[in-house]
Structure 1
Amino acid sequence: MNIKKNPKSNLENYNKIFMQIGLVLALFVTYVAIEKKTFDKKFADLGAITMNADMEEEIPITERVEPEQPKAPPPPTPEKIEVVEDEKEVEETIIETTETDETEAVEVEEIEEIEEEEEVIEDVPFTIIEEAPVFPGCRGNKEQLKKCFSRKVQKHYSRKFDANLPNELGIAPGRKRILMQFLIDENGNITEIKSRAPHPRLEKEVSRVLKLLPKMKPGRQRGRNVPVRYSFRVRLDVE
């Protein structure tokens, strides 16, 4: 036999009503809490409090005691000064005059003349000489004269050197170098010719060519004629 429930006794039908009642109560409690007024509490007057007397402390008065400094010893008593009578005779020194009398003859020592040795100036490199030697026909300032000198020497070498000699000597083909050096003395003459070449015959040929150089105007250093050393090199292409 099934038990029949009364539909009015089913509480699920009142869920919405309960929820609305709970919401209204919550809003009411919130409103009352917000609107409630509070007042500051008043305390009884305790009267004036005097704390100055308690805070004042008795501070004892102290005196500053300075340390005693050691006393300096008294100065020593001066020794007894004896007075001595001046009985000694002082000898006077006589200063002789250095002036000579015109009547007296004055002896004069003989003065030896010392010959000054001439300053020997060694040869100066062509690159640092003050006034370079001048090749005949060159003109201009110092720098132009130097360039003209080098150009004229190389031109002279090219014209006088036997270009067929390397082939006649059977030197291996290729590019060779010949180093040359000579000195232009104080008179402008060409001296001390030196050379370095791949063959002794070439060195002799170089000496022959350089001996044919004309006489130069000598170089000058500190206003004096000085020997000037000049060196250069050429490339020789042997076929």
Structure 2
Amino acid sequence: MEPKKNPHLDVKRNSMLYFFMGMTFVLLMAYLALNWKTYYSENTWDLGAVKVNEDLIEETPFLKLKLPDPPQPKIQSPPKIEIAEDDEKVEETVIEANDVDQDTEISDIESIDVVEDDIPDEIPFILIENAPIFPGCENERTEKEKRECFQEQMLKHIRKNFRYPEVAQELGLEGRVNIIFTVQKDGSIGDVRLRGPHESLEKEAARIISKLPKLQPGKQRGTPVKVPYSIPITFRLN
């Protein structure tokens, strides 16, 4: 059976060849376009041919400045040396040595002043040689027993005179009042200082301390001195 169309007249017969040829031409044009270089035309000056108007050339004037002469150094005249006459002969004073030797006289003992002991006016309770004595503790033998008796009698005195303030009971106040007082040189109580949680408790503690009897004063080397003493009073509701 013969074909209806002539193969030589088929349009699609060489389509692939034409396609590759077109692609090759396009790539060649793109390559040439990317690598195309242009240059500016030369516009150089021939400096040798340029002529400058001589009227425009100015000569720089030279200025001559005269500097002042440097100051001349002052020449001081040499000091005048005068020869003084010899002074009168001065007799030298001989200083005798005060070293003690076997020929030194010894002063009498009665002529030597003895410095009195410097005893402080106030000594704490724990450092005093002879602590204050509470009435009833005089018969204790040792100093340690007298101190222990003093503290026991203080506690008995507080328990005996203790009275809870009504205002503090109504307000439900509790706490500790720290008390510091001083046993004076005559055995009386003074310089009372209190610190507590409420004024009513402080007043009650001050009242208890005010009822202390007169004590025997503390002594340092046999001399009465002031002795501070501190004790707390605790207020607690049952």
TM-score calculated relative to the size of structure 1 = 0.47
TM-score calculated relative to the size of structure 2 = 0.47
